[in-house]
A and B are shown apart, each in its own frame.
Chain A
Amino acid sequence: MTSIRKILKTLAIVPVAMAMSLAAAQAAGYPSKPLTLIVTWPAGGSTDVIARLLAEPLGKELGQPVAVVNRKGGGGSLGTKAALDAPKDGYTVLMTTSGNHILTPLKKDVGYRYDDFVPIGQVVAATLALAVRADSPWKSLDDMIKDAKANPGKYNFGGVPFGMPHLTLNALATEAGVELVHIPMQGGAPGAKALLGGDIAMLPANASTVASNLKAGKMRALAVFNKERDPAFPDVPTAKEQGHPVYGSPFVGMAVAKGVPQEAVDRLRAALQKVANDPDFQAKAVKTATAITYLPADDFGAVWARDWNAYEPVLKKK
């Protein structure tokens, strides 16, 4: 069968060529080939946008392209596990968020803990706000709480089940002694629609999701759950200011699996620090109502520990 032989002959050249090019690549030092940045949420979502915004300047800084890869599923656990199982050579980086890094592994056994990873740096600590429709009678947190106390079990709110917004509002409800009904939703966007449509009375959400409606006056924010007011929304008091010290802030940052060589880790940390602190990049990001709140690696790691300990008692009960 001459045709088969011909085919095999052609094929034989390929592995030789590839072996040669690979040898050349290894000699150059880290990074010597493109990196993979895993996003554990669907394309187009807020994490994905941040990752894609980062990928280009990061790639320039590192000298190798950074390819964004979406691996969604299992509340972020599939992608996180993929980052853990990949070869620990520093070429697989995880774009990690509170959801996949802290909340999901606390809720169920997904085969990893927050400290199986080494922090590279935090990129964003988002602001959570409690939004209501513009025509709602509530003008402050206390209005809402008073109403809810008088009518336990009457008011609905929406949110991704056991996501930061849901848990934060639950914490507030417990603290204030009110009973609210949770309507599970698939994300911030359906929540915003439900709020506008009147199916829910209030919505805890990432401020960026409701920013446009807030600015246009279709929605009102009763509170933000940060330590201080968000400069993008200076008129919205914090929950603490109103007498309810409840905090919640979903983070987005970068991490790699434990066991990656220190040289790679240092290089990545330095690159991220440079990019995140670049004023042009920050300006671009600020326009998205998601300001860059960079934290270097050690501080980021502290955030992980803090959140893990804070939410463990709440979620492990399940």
Chain B
Amino acid sequence: MDLLFAGLEQVFTVETLSLIAIGLIVGIIIGAIPGLNVPLAVAIALPITFKLSPIGGLAMLVGIYKGGTYGGSLSAVLINVPGTPAAAATALDGAALTRQGKAGKALRMSLYASIIAEVISDLALILFAVPVAAFALKIGPPETFSVGVFALTLVGVLSQGNMLKGVMAGALGLLLSTFGVDPLTGDFRLTLGFDALSGGWSFIALVIGVFAVAEALVKVERPLEKPMAMGTVRLSDPDHRLSRDDWRRSLPVITRSAPIGVLIGAIPGLGAAVSAYLNYGITRNLSKTPERFGQGAIEGVAAAESGNNAVTSATFVPLLTLGVPGDVITAIMLGAFIVHGLIPGPALFEQNSAFIAAFFVMVVVTTGLHLIIGRLGMPLFVQTTRISNKFLFPAIMVLSVTGVYVTTNSFFDVFTMLGFGLLGYFMIKCSFPVAPLLIGFILGPLIEIGLRQSVIMSRGSFDIFLTRPLSAAFLALAAVSVVIVGVREWRLARRNTPNPKTPEGD
């Protein structure tokens, strides 16, 4: 208990609190700007934290991390361009709400769902770190493969009505992820003679190209479109507030998505984007009114946002308990720990429990400040719907090029971004769902590595996927998912077409 008080003391100093606030604000801004992403911000802020106290430095980084994950949803909702990959699922319903003039609803739900999920995630870290870590340890190669396959079945959910095209997009995403280097042998693969491809397609170039650049290209067709809102947007209007009905739909979704997000966060390699899509997909699958999704279903926003923010604190579980970072961002933060002489892992819990206590307090305080700052900033954010395209999109393009260049230091990758922008543009015009492309690309390496490592472990037999219980469970879930999606698609087909052809694509 005194540890807790000592921790409180350390955190509630002006220095630490202002560092958290700065981190949050910087994070939100960077997350909101398409083209800049959170790992970049954390990597750049890292050296700055070397000079600060351990808790102070980490506080700033955690602030950037949480703020950044939330910030992406701002641009996703307001301009249909996710600021970070994790917010891509939020854009599906969030932007629709903005188009209906209900941006405030989407923003509020996005913030509140994020905060609730973060609280749950913080609690999981503080109270359940050890069992969650034990769970994470059980996820070996076969389970990684099975979880990946399960997540992949979401391709079906997200392409409801456009199944063939959705599956094609997913296959393309998977295929693209294999370019560059074989992750298991280190051999070059599909570099098509380009040196620069030997690292594979740049993920950030793909995300920004397919979302930001493609959207910019779509918008350039009609330059004189009016901005979405004229005159001051008043956040207190009923259209911008959450009704009881909204909460009734969303609260159960949040309470289901957050724990799932926590588990996903604890498994190294999956990440916030996967969690957001997975929860969105599950929510849609289980909903009695799936056709509302994509048209402004508030629970879609709730699912996606609670999914992605639940991941934030959970990724610290493997880092603190096992000394193994859960994703790119915690890997960077590992550096921050190390520089202050703190080596994350079981030793830290025993030898430096004062620091751990302070860390936990800091994480919770960050969530609290996040709520305050997010809510205060909202009236300001929502005014961006008044900016007309002629300023907005040139700026977005400049930012995108800048952001990709700063992250990758490669002109090839920036051109790649443009290429993916064109791909995304054509996909949008021809009704190919874009989400499966992204998911396929993210999950590809996971699935391949899991598959091939497992086969080596079992010396060539495929039994291992079924003999290990967790793996079998995930595969079963995947099968269930396919059945649900298949049945729904069948019903849609029967309902939509008088002639016995495949469902309406447009």
Contact = CB atoms under 8 A, between A and B. Distances in A.
A146 B297 CA distance: 63
A197 B139 contact: yes
A2 interface: no
Contact of A186 (B50, B183, B341, B349): B183
B47 A196 contact: no
A216 B138 contact: no
Contacts of A52: 46-47, 50, 335
A70 B409 contact: yes
Nearest to A214: B347
Interface string B449-493: 100110011010000000000000000000000000000000000
A184 interface: yes
B449 A196 contact: no
Given A44-B332, A211-B343, A213-B322, A75 B138 contact: no
Given A49-B335, A78-B198, A192 B323 contact: yes
Contacts of B181: 73-75
B268 A190 contact: yes
A111 to B, nearest CB: 8
A109 B322 CA distance: 38
A74 B188 CA distance: 8
Residue picked from A69, A82, A212, most chain B C-beta under 10 Å? A212
A185 B343 CA distance: 22
A193 B198 contact: no
Nearest to B335: A49
Contact of B328 (A44, A56, A216): A44
Contacts of A211: 323, 343, 345
Contact of A44 (B47, B334, B452): B334
Contacts of B392: none
A161 B183 CA distance: 9
A194 interface: yes
Contacts of B452: 184
A211 B195 CA distance: 37
Contacts of A70: 43, 409
A215 B328 contact: no
Contacts of B453: 183-185
Nearest to B46: A52
B427 interface: no
Nearest to B142: A199
A209 B47 CA distance: 21
Nearest to B406: A69
A280 to B, nearest CB: 12
Contacts of B338: 49, 287-289
A73 B180 contact: yes
A185 B324 CA distance: 14
Interface string A47-68: 0110011011000000000001
B319 to A, nearest CB: 9
B195 A81 contact: yes
Interface string B163-187: 0000000000000000011011111
A4 to B, nearest CB: 16
Interface residues of B, number: 61
Contacts of A189: 268, 324-325, 331
A44 to B, nearest CB: 3
A251 to B, nearest CB: 19
A196 B333 CA distance: 22
B199 A196 contact: no
Nearest to B345: A212
A32 interface: no
A54 to B, nearest CB: 10
Contacts of B322: 192-193, 196, 213
B409 A213 contact: no
Sort chain A's interface into a size bin: 35 or more
A72 B199 contact: yes
Contacts of B50: 52-53, 56
A71 B410 contact: yes
A77 interface: yes
Nearest to A289: B343
A274 to B, nearest CB: 19
Contacts of B329: 44
A246 to B, nearest CB: 22
A22 interface: no
Contact of A49 (B141, B339, B349, B408): B339
Given A44-B331, A44-B334, A213-B323, A69 B409 contact: yes
A216 B331 contact: no
Contacts of A162: 186
Nearest to A74: B198
Given A212-B345, A213-B345, A288-B339, A43 B332 contact: yes
Contact of B318 (A44, A75, A193, A287): A193
A156 interface: yes
A218 interface: yes
A197 B331 contact: no
Given A78-B196, A156-B457, A184-B185, A193 B331 contact: no
Given A186-B183, A193-B324, A288-B341, A215 B347 contact: yes
B328 to A, nearest CB: 7
A45 interface: yes
A239 to B, nearest CB: 24
Contacts of A216: 345-347, 349-350
A181 B331 contact: no
A258 interface: no
Contacts of B324: 189-190, 192-193, 196
A316 interface: no
Interface in A69-117: 69-75, 77-78, 81-82, 107-108, 111
A119 to B, nearest CB: 24
A42 interface: yes
A284 interface: yes
Given A44-B335, A78-B196, A212 B341 contact: no
Contacts of B39: 43-44
Contacts of A209: 323
A210 B137 CA distance: 16
13 contacts: A44-B329, A48-B332, A52-B47, A52-B50, A71-B409, A73-B196, A78-B195, A162-B186, A184-B184, A194-B141, A215-B351, A216-B345, A287-B340
Given A44-B333, A186-B183, A189-B325, 13 more contacts: A44-B39, A49-B334, A52-B46, A53-B339, A73-B198, A74-B199, A78-B195, A82-B409, A212-B323, A212-B344, A218-B345, A284-B341, A288-B341
Interface of A: 42-45, 48-49, 52-53, 55-56, 68-75, 77-78, 81-82, 107-108, 111, 153, 156, 160-162, 181-186, 189-190, 192-194, 196-199, 209-213, 215-218, 284, 287-289
Question: 7 tightest CB-CB pairs across the interface, nearest first?
Answer: A73-B199, A212-B345, A287-B341, A44-B332, A216-B346, A74-B198, A43-B43
